[in-house]
Amino acid sequence: MTTLHSDPDSIYDVLGIGFGPSNLALAIALHEHGGTPRAGDGFRVGFLERQPRFGWHRGMLIDDATMQVSFLKDLVTMRDPTSDFSFLCYLRDRGRLVDFLNQKTLFPLRIEFHDYFEWAAARVGHLVDYSADVVSVRPVTEEGEVRSFDVASRDPAAPERLTVRRTRALCVASGLEPHLPPGTVLSERAWHNSELLPRVERLRRSGKPVRRAVVLGAGQSAAEAVDYLHRNFPDAEICSVFAKYGYTPADDSPFANRIFDPEAVDLFYGAPPQVKRSLHDYHRGTNYSVVDMDLIESLSRTMYQEKVQGTQRLRMMNVSRIREVTGDDDGVWVTVEFLPTGEREVLSADLIVYATGYQPRGLGDHLGEIAKLCLRDDEDQLRVGRDHRVETAAHVTADIYLQGGTEHTHGLTSTLLSTTAVRAGEICSTLLADRTRADAHG
């Protein structure tokens, strides 16, 4: 194995792990404050991304799906409305500003917002190394203090080559990973909804017929998958399986949405543990296992029209759970239990889609032994400061910031776009202030 070390004297001020929307917003903020990838030119910044190019939930970029957050909560506007990295500046650059305004909407198409992210990412591309999969982070100790970290990464296309970069601070934004029920076995016939578009396209190219598809889940992604499969396989029966009586509408009312205000993060952070738990439980309906009302009504209309026509393809198997899934190359057999009676039905299907949500990647997945230097609370959760900095052992002076995975300290917006720009601004300000103090002390 070949290991390439960056010059120890050319230390980064901050290295970001992951380059989704959160670290993209931070890259923009640092870029606007003079951040540079080069040593000796001021505040040195770098980001590492394992994907070969920018991508954000590409498997769910359904053609007519819209964002569930206002375009004003883009990468910069809540931090700096004058930034030329805003969604409106993107529209102007693309020649669609007037056309978008004529749509009279706050919620762009998801494919358009992804294009906005790509547009912004390209403008700070000099700060990012793509195809850089972080495999370890090790402490660098000087005079008994951990003053920096060595971050090792490899290109998936050349795994024998390891590159090590040294940094005074880390910002971990490794995003979410698909959550699957225990014991789930994935295959060509069974997959998570995050792969929806490429999997459907592969099925089309294969020429294999789809007579029945089963979707497990009760949230927005599940409903979108049901709708998409129903439209794209016009001869197939689409079975939606969930434990509720019906899809729960998302609570996007003005007062409930205040839980996503930047000020709400301050209130949540300072609240007692029992209040935090209550707030989380009260307002889960703004984000978790809920569906936009327009989509609920559309699916209901479709079901009724099919009943009228006598050709019902959309089947809602509510108050039900999947008890067993078996399969081979020819299909899957799904055992569904109707909970009120315990009656079970075995469905012969061509595919099953698990729309069962996402979960934050564990800190240890990227930090390895560094995770042992991080302090935890009585419930074994990471202790994180209001400035998004992980609390570490006393002898650690290098910093670790988190973007995501902090619902227990910062509230529901931890994994959402709502406060991305504000959080990036807070981390940027802290990083620059720390560098100024360090320079002042020589």
Given this model, what pLDDT does residue 282 score? 82
**What's the confidence (pLDDT) of residue 258?**
87
Question: How much is the average pLDDT of 405-415?
Answer: 88
Q: Give all strands (DSSP E) within 156-310, no chain letters.
A: 158-167, 169-172, 176-178, 190-192, 212-216, 237-241
Label residue 3 by pLDDT band (50, 70, 90): low
CA distance 6 to 80: 34
The answer on pLDDT for 239 being more than 70 is: yes
Burial class (CB in 10 A: 0-12, 13-18, 19+), 436: exposed
- The pTM of this model reads 0.93
For residue 363, the model assigns a pLDDT of 62
pLDDT of residue 442: 58
CB atoms closer than 10 angstroms to residue 117: 20
Q: pLDDT (tens digit, 9 = 90+) per residue, 339-394?
A: 999 999 999 999 999 999 998 876 655 667 788 899 999 888 899 999 999 999 99
Q: How far apart are CA 191 and CA 329, in angstroms?
A: 14
pLDDT for the residue numbered 348: 96
Q: pLDDT tens-digit profile of 216-238? A: 999 999 999 999 999 999 999 99
Tell me the pLDDT tens digit for each residue of 394-404: 999 999 999 98
Specify the pLDDT at position 441: 63
Cβ atoms of 435 and 43 within 8 Å: the answer is yes
Question: Phi and psi (nearest 5°) for 391?
Answer: -75, 130
Alpha-carbon gap, residue 139 to 126, rounded angstroms: 26
For residue 185, what pLDDT band results from cuts at 50, 70 and 90? Answer: very high
Query: What are the Cα distances from residue 225, in Å, to 144, 187, 197, 238, 301?
Result: 54, 18, 9, 10, 17
Alpha-carbon distance of 206 to 49, in angstroms, equals 32
pLDDT of 93: 98
Residues 6 or more apart from 198 whose CB is under 8 A from it? 58, 59
Q: For 115-147, how does the pLDDT look when each residue is reduced to its tens digit (9 = 90+)?
A: 999 999 999 999 999 999 999 999 999 999 999
Per-residue pLDDT band for 18 (boundaries 50, 70, 90) equals: very high
* Rounded percentage of the chain residues whose pLDDT exceeds 70: 95
9 confidence band (pLDDT: 50, 70, 90): low
For the chain, domains (ranges, CATH) are 2-175+361-440 (3.50.50.60), 178-250+288-354 (3.50.50.60)
Q: Measured between alpha carbons, how far is 48 from 44 in angstroms, rounded to an integer?
A: 14
Higher pLDDT, 314 or 285: 314
Distance (Å, rounded) from C-alpha 287 to C-alpha 20? 19
Q: How confident is the model at residue 440 (pLDDT cuts 50, 70, 90)?
A: low
Q: Which residue has the higher pLDDT, 261 or 366?
A: 261
For residue 234, the SS3 value is coil
Assess whether pLDDT exceeds 60 at residue 8: no
Residue 159 CA to residue 157 CA, distance in Å, equals: 6
pLDDT at 191: 96
Q: Which residues pair with 170 in a beta bridge?
A: 15, 400
Q: Are strands 358-360 and 237-241 parallel, antiparallel or unpaired?
A: unpaired
pLDDT band at 158 (very low <50, low <70, confident <90, very high): confident
